[in-house]
Structure 1
Amino acid sequence: MRRVFAFSACAPVRWRGAVPEYRQRFSSPITAVPRKSFSELINSPGMPVLVDFYATWCGPCKTMAPILEQVAAQHGGKLRIIKIDVDRNAAVAQQYRVQSIPTLILFHRGQPVWRQAGVVAAAQIGEALRPFVS
């Protein structure tokens, strides 16, 4: 089964305020991302990590869900996609200076290599991924 949103192995999150369509669409449990493990998640050796900073109340953020699914399908297991709720993880959002949502940041070996705010087409994300996905 294809997993679009990867998180570290932590205690499961209850769906307080989370977008219900994510829960219905993906049968794998979505788990919490503690602040200390975010750096571990973006330091995937040899695998780029695309982080989607979003909010549950944000309309354009909901538009990004099928686009990210398409990107994940195109790149198979060569890419990790993580969603970070800026309301629940304000410190991480501030650390990377996320001022508008949705914001996508592509990390390679723990370093941000590409960043885009707003709704982004799958083709544009694919272009940004091309140098990092073999």
Structure 2
Amino acid sequence: MNKKIKTTDTNINIDESTILVVEIGVLSFEVDERYPWIDVYFIGNESKEFITQIDEEKMPIFVKHEELKRFALNWYFNNVEIVKEIKQTAPEVKSQEQLEENFSSDTGEKLHDGCPKCWVKNNKSYNCGYDKCPGYKLFNLEKSKS
């Protein structure tokens, strides 16, 4: 029989956890009680794509949805810009080529100024404005609200 997952781990511990979720527009803020950070996802079209992880020095411990909602709203208004359209900042380049050209895949640092708005986390480029970029749709909030 073909199984979907193969493992050599014979230890079958069962753990449980609670995840608090607050959704603001097309963003989902999720806190797992086991960890001190917030994972932020783009949600839409029956899919969920990881955007970033909020892990600040003085993070509160979230126990209730209201606490997470307040924190998420503050983060949203400090970090999300709503625009009518996103202008391309450079000639179109496939996101994989862009990732290899502009960034060090080891450190996520920009190698040159080919695209002034890009950044990388976990070897994935975001916010460059190319319509082929995996992060392009994440910041096109105005169109998704229409």
- Report 1 or 2 for greater relative contact order, CA contacts < 8 Å, sequence distance ≥ 6: 1
Instruction: Select the structure that is richer in helix.
Output: 1
Greater C-alpha radius of gyration: 2
The TM-score normalised by the length of structure 2 is 0.25
The TM-score normalised by the length of structure 1 is 0.26
